[in-house]
Amino acid sequence: MSLRDNAAGPDQTLASLHAALVRYRVMAYVTAVLLIILVFVGVPLQVWDNDLLMVKVVGTMHGYLYIVYLFAAFDLTRRLRLPLLKMALVLLAGTVPFCAIVAERLLTRLYDRSAPHLAPSTAGPATQET
């Protein structure tokens, strides 16, 4: 039986932190891609072709999914104990084209650096005296 089977604390912390990271990454890519389509396809169509369909569809999708992004990013940045200013920057990154992708890279790297320390290795000399 491995120690991990009944180690409640750090493993759960890490599992929920990882789940929060996955949720955030999915939402970051979704909002980033929608915003890029909106700004670089929808807006030119509206300005030069007077075609409003793209802006209306993608604009509303981005608007609502940005709210989901906000909650996912808020959850992850709190779990990673980010200071308030950085937290606000991550939240705002969803409204600037390409910024959400940058924020996603930075937060994933931060997670990779902090996660090993958050769940210290349970493999140790547990049976050294027997």
Q: What is the DSSP string of the chain?
A: --GGGT--HHHHHHHHHHHHHHHHHHHHHHHHHHHHHIIIIIHHHHHHH---HHHHHHHHHHHHHHHHHHHHHHHHHHHTT--HHHHHHHHHGGGSTTHHHHHHHHHHHHHHHHHHHHS----S-TTTT-
Residue 92 CB, nearest distance to another protein (Å)? Answer: 12
By C-beta, is 48 or 83 nearer to another protein?
A: 83
**Is residue 119 near another protein by the rule CB under 8 A?**
yes
Which string of x and - marks every residue 63-102 that binds another protein (by CB under 8 A)?
xx--x--xx--x---x-xxxxx------------------
Handedness of CA 46, 49, 50, 51 (dihedral sign): negative
- The backbone torsions φ and ψ at residue 123, rounded to the nearest 5 degrees and listed phi first, read -75, 110
Task: Choose one: 6-14, 20-28, 40-48, 96-104; the region binding another protein (CB under 8 A).
Answer: 6-14
By C-beta, is 3 or 19 nearer to another protein?
A: 3
Which string of x and - marks every residue 10-29 that binds another protein (by CB under 8 A)?
x--x----------------
Chain residues binding another protein by CB under 8 A are 3, 6-10, 13, 56, 60, 63-64, 67, 70-71, 74, 78, 80-84, 114, 117-120, 122, 124-130
